[in-house]
Amino acid sequence: MASRRLIPAMLLSKGRLVKGRSFGSHEDAGNPVTTAKIYNDQMADEILVLDIDATPEGRGPDLETLRALTQRCFVPVSFGGGIADIETAAKVLRGGADKVVVNTAALAGPEFLEALAARFGRQAVVVAIDTVTTPSGTRVATEQGRRATPHSPVDWALQVQEAGAGEILLTSVEREGQRCGLDLKGIREVVESVTIPVIAHGGIGRLEDFASGLREGGAAAVAAGRIFQFADNNLIKVRRYLLQQGIDLRVQ
């Protein structure tokens, strides 16, 4: 397998960085541009930025913050939130992002993913798959995790791969921000069903969780937010730990 990646995840709300739990209870966490610069200096492999208000508010993504952020950072940036058409995706990429992250618009039908891949290439298309537990089993969720769809994560992962996704961001809604560990079983099931890279997200609470996501989960990358906002758990420390565990990381 190719070298694994460490990806800090940043949630934007009204131009500020926020942190939350299970897609709710968001608290202000500072200036996103300053934080992204810190991640850049700490050798992040990529930075994931999600404008969490864009789709619920029926607007496009926060391009002003994106431009300010990418002018200060020199690592790849994946940006999502409010991307529902080709022109908006083009604006995000022109604003400095290397990849667009889509969720709600992908669920509307495969045509959008097909158009994105045809225009920008599969490598620029990340599909976010949010999962929730229901009486019928784990299902893909929309509306910030509040509404379960009929899709199972594996079936939906196969569909988005076929439609043009180059990567999958797999997030457990229940575990997001809770620091209770990753959903390793769910991650492994999706990883084994597709051939494109899977980013594991939601639940990182200890250094060991990064290693288990990459080893037991088989993910190509692990994304985390809350744990990186604590001074004693920065990217340098995590990278050093994983290298000590013999995990092959992308060379900086």
Which pairing describes strands 5-13 and 221-224: parallel, antiparallel, or unpaired? parallel
For residues 158 and 165, give the distance between their C-alpha atoms in angstroms, rounded to a whole number.
10
DSSP 55-76: TTTT----HHHHHHHHTT--S-
For residues 132 and 155, give the distance between their C-alpha atoms in angstroms, rounded to a whole number.
15
> What residues contact residue 61 under an 8 Å CB cut-off, 6+ apart?
51, 54, 79, 80, 81, 82, 83, 88, 91, 92
- Mean predicted confidence (pLDDT) in 76-94: 96
For residues 96 and 106, give the distance between their C-alpha atoms in angstroms, rounded to a whole number.
22
pLDDT in tens, 28-63: 778 999 999 999 999 899 999 999 898 888 899 999
Task: Please give the model's pTM, rounded to 2 decimal places.
Answer: 0.93
Domains and CATH numbers, the chain: 5-244 (3.20.20.70)
Tell me what pLDDT residue 231 has. 54
* Residue 49: φ, ψ to 5°: -125, 125
What is the sign, positive or negative, of the torsion defined by CA atoms of 28, 223, 210, 72? Answer: negative
